[in-house]
């Protein structure tokens, strides 16, 4: 099988627990045998019949040169991307939401965004096949295993994907610092929505901005407009979470 890497204790544990990825083997630092999470990894691997092998820290560093493996690397099958049509069909009878990344090229940002998406209950994330980051080891590590809890959709054309979503009753929201409307002025709870986030430097392409139903900005107290895209995504998504919680409380009180 094709091999990709998952590194970091939480990421490997999540992949083992979700049981959706085929493991070739797991490499564990020979100096980490007494670690609680390493013991959990060994236990899960034994339950699934997955080979784990103790190697030197130097060996792990040669595979993951940045040294962020935390003493464990899993060699697994690549993540399975979801088709947009299948995603739409799966959630056609319930309110749902997706995040679309237009040109985000930093793997750490993509991983952090996926983590925020899962925490906020977002069901899918759409990535372009070109001009952006697809799922790699850094994304998996930064997501801390969240990658296993969300549909990841790859598309050759974000414009076509957005048009398809609009045809299926999704409202499209673009994050744009030139917008007049603030992000908290939208009622996210009464619609299917697709939130488009652009890269820090280039922003969202004009073709996608034209397709958006709403453009929103995050208000700031200074002119220092340099919010990281992963931070900006989290701010908007957790406004949606806040509104959802208020609506649930209101329904209970009513």
Beta carbons of 73 and 66 less than 8 angstroms apart = no
Q: What is the pLDDT of residue 33?
A: 63
CATH number (domain holding residue 9): 3.30.1330.30
Q: Are residues 38 and 20 in the same domain?
A: yes
Q: Are residues 229 and 131 in the same domain?
A: yes
Tokens (6 digits) for 228? 């990281």
- Tally the domains of the chain: 2
Q: Are residues 130 and 109 in the same domain?
A: yes
Q: Select from 23, 56, 76 the last residue of a domain.
A: 76
Q: In sequence order, what are the residues at sequence separation of 6 or more whose Cβ sits closer than 8 angstroms to the Cβ of residue 82?
A: 124, 151, 152, 153
Q: What is the pLDDT of residue 127?
A: 96
Q: Are residues 93 and 216 in the same domain?
A: yes
CATH number (domain holding residue 150): 3.40.1280.10
Farthest-apart Cα atoms in the chain, separation: 61
Q: In sequence order, what are the residues at sequence separation of 6 or more whose Cβ sits closer than 8 angstroms to the Cβ of residue 36?
A: none
Q: Are residues 27 and 67 in the same domain?
A: yes
Q: Are residues 33 and 101 in the same domain?
A: no
Q: Are residues 153 and 72 in the same domain?
A: no
DSSP state at residue 34: T
Q: In sequence order, what are the residues at sequence separation of 6 or more whose Cβ sits closer than 8 angstroms to the Cβ of residue 60?
A: 27, 29, 69, 71, 72, 73
* Burial profile 77-96: b = 16 or more Cβ within 10 angstroms, e = fewer: eebeebebeebbeebeeeeb
Q: Select from 58, 76, 94 the last residue of a domain.
A: 76
Q: What is the pLDDT of residue 160?
A: 97
> Tens place of pLDDT for every residue, the chain, 254 residues?
467 888 888 889 988 988 878 888 999 988 776 678 888 999 999 999 999 999 988 888 888 876 778 889 998 888 889 999 999 999 999 999 999 999 898 999 999 999 999 999 999 999 998 878 888 888 888 888 888 899 999 999 999 999 999 999 999 999 998 899 999 999 999 899 999 999 877 789 999 999 999 999 999 888 776 689 999 999 999 999 999 999 888 777 76
Q: Are residues 41 and 115 in the same domain?
A: no
Host domain of residue 151: 84-253
Q: Select from 31, 55, 76 the last residue of a domain.
A: 76
Q: Within 13 Å of residue 142, how many CA atoms lie on the same side as its CB?
A: 17
Question: What do you get for the CA distance between the two ends of the chain, in Å?
Answer: 55
User: Environment class of residue 249 by beta-carbon count within 10 Å: exposed (0-12), middle (13-18) or buried (19+)?
Assistant: exposed
Other C-beta atoms lying within 10 Å of the C-beta of residue 50: 19
Q: Are residues 55 and 176 in the same domain?
A: no
3-class SS of residue 40: helix
Q: Are residues 67 and 138 in the same domain?
A: no
Q: Are residues 34 and 123 in the same domain?
A: no
Q: Are residues 230 and 247 in the same domain?
A: yes
Q: What is the pLDDT of residue 120?
A: 96
């Amino acid at each position: 099988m094709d091999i990709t890497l998952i590194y970091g204790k939480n990421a490997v544990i999540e992949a083992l627990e979700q049981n959706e990825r085929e493991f070739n083997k797991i490499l564990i630092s020979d100096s980490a045998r007494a670690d609680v999470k390493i013991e959990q990894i060994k236990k899960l691997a034994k339950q699934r019949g997955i080979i784990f092998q103790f190697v030197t820290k130097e060996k792990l560093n040669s595979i993951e040169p940045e040294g962020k493996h935390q003493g464990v690397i899993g060699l697994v099958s690549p993540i399975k991307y979801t088709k947009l049509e299948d995603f739409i069909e799966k959630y056609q009878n319930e309110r749902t939401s997706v995040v679309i990344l237009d040109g985000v090229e930093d793997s750490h940002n993509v991983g952090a965004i996926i983590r925020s998406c899962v925490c906020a209950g977002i069901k899918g994330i759409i990535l372009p096949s070109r001009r952006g980051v697809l799922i790699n080891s850094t994304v998996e590590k930064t997501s801390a295993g969240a990658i296993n809890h969300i549909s990841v959709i790859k598309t050759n054309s974000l414009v076509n994907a957005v048009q398809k979503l609009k045809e299926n009753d999704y409202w499209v929201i673009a994050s744009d610092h030139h917008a007049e409307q603030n992000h908290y002025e939208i009622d996210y709870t009464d619609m299917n929505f697709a939130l488009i986030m652009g890269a820090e430097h280039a922003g969202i392409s004009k073709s996608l901005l034209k397709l958006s139903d709403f453009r929103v900005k995050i208000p700031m107290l200074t002119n220092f407009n340099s919010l990281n895209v992963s931070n900006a995504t989290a701010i908007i998504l957790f406004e949606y979470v806040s509104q959802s919680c208020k609506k649930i409380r209101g329904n209970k009180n009513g």
